[in-house]
Structures are given as structure tokens and as C-alpha cells.
């Protein structure tokens, strides 16, 4: 079951808004088993021009779901972001289950208990310093390069670090300027 962390920027998160967010995002519970322990981090923001932006991040062991939507109506943004997350999950499960059948594994299950998705820490406040200004710790998950590309695209990142399921080595996929993808494998 999902738990919710709802916060607002330039908006007071009323009980009605919180209930609507929880009701809409709880639609995703059907994709998680009863044993799933995931937190939906929901950020609601209202801009000066009265447009509303909703960002949802759900970190999980094999996948981080993330979506955002902006529209003139807060409730419409919540609906749109929920639909977007549902499409992401369906796409991910379809692709993983297809690969699992090809390799003879059981179907992929999103109900694996969640782990720490990583912690950010700011190290320096001086923007001109050549020091490391942000550190992020990640847990590498075994997967193939296709799954890593899917994860990278869903996160909206330019690269993704993962443990190659075939070689057990650390690898990196990245998006090239020409729109195609590259793979960096390490010698271990």
C-alpha cells in the first residue's frame, strides 16, 4: 500500500486537497501488492499566474516513478499526473514481463519492499567552487541495458548507473546528443 507525503508551495494543503490526492493516487495500489511499502511524495505548487503544478515521485527498489503536470486547475493536474504514472507503470510492467518470459523468469512484481532511494546532501554553498556540491548515494539494481534506458527515460535523466544482470559489473547508459543511447561498461 502507498503512503503519502503531500506538501504545498504557495498553497495551503487543505484536508479536501489531501483527500483528493490520496484518492486519485490510491488508484495505483492495484499495481502494488499488499506487501509493498512505498511512499508517494506529492508536491503541489501554485504560480503567480494561478497555474498549478503537481509533482509525484514514488521511489521503489527497481524503479522510481516520477511525473509532473501543470494546468490552470489543481485538480485537473492531479488527475493528469495520476494518469501519467499509471501509463508509466503499465509500460514498465509490460516490458519487464516480456523480458522475463523470454528469459524464463517469473513475472516482475512491484510489491517488493521499498529501499532507501538515496539521500542528497549539499556540501557547499559557494556556486563558484570546484568542489563537489551535491552527493547522492544510490543502490545499484541488477538489470539489463534496455531496462536501464527505460528507467533513465522515466526519470528524465541523461544517464543511469546500474548493475548489469549479465556481467554483474557496474554499467552506465546515457543519452547521446543525436538522440540515441550509449553504454559504458566497467572492467571489474
pLDDT digits (tens, 9 = 90+) for 103-127: 665 544 554 433 333 334 344 444 4
- 96 and 151 part of one domain: no
159-164 and 142-143: which strand pairing? Answer: parallel
CA distance 115 to 54: 24
Q: Which of 66-75, 137-146, 178-187 has the lowest mean pLDDT?
A: 137-146
**Tell me, what CATH number does 156's domain have?**
3.30.505.50
Percent of the chain that is helix, strand, coil (3-state, to 5): 30, 30, 40
Is the per-residue pLDDT at 67 higher than 80? yes
Cα Rg, the chain, nearest whole Å = 18
CA distance 29 to 50: 31
Give this prediction's pTM: 0.56
Higher pLDDT, 182 or 33: 182
If you average pLDDT over residues 46-50, what whole number do you get?
A: 90
Range of the domain at 57: 2-103
Amino acid at each position: 500500500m502507498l503512503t503519502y507525503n503531500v506538501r504545498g508551495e504557495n498553497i495551503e494543503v487543505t484536508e479536501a486537497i489531501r483527500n483528493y490526492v490520496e484518492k486519485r493516487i490510491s488508484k495505483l495500489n492495484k499495481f502494488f501488492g499488499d506487501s509493498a511499502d512505498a511512499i508517494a511524495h506529492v508536491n503541489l505548487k501554485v504560480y503567480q499566474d494561478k497555474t498549478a503544478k503537481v509533482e509525484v515521485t514514488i521511489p521503489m527498489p527497481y524503479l522510481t516513478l516520477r511525473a509532473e503536470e501543470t494546468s490552470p486547475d489543481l485538480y485537473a493536474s492531479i488527475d493528469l499526473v495520476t494518469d501519467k504514472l499509471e501509463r508509466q507503470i503499465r509500460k514498465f510492467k509490460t516490458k519487464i514481463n516480456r523480458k522475463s518470459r523470454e528469459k524464463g523468469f517469473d513475472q516482475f512484481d512491484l510489491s517488493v519492499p521499498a529501499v532507501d532511494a538515496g539521500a542528497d546532501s549539499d556540501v557547499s554553498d559557494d556556486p563558484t567552487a570546484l568542489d563537489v556540491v551535491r552527493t547522492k548515494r544510490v543502490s545499484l539494481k541488477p538489470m539489463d541495458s534496455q531496462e536501464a534506458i527505460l528507467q533513465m527515460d522515466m526519470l528524465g535523466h541523461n544517464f543511469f548507473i546500474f548493475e548489469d544482470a549479465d556481467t554483474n559489473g557496474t554499467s552506465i547508459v546515457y543519452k547521446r546528443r543525436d538522440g540515441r543511447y550509449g553504454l559504458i561498461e566497467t572492467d571489474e
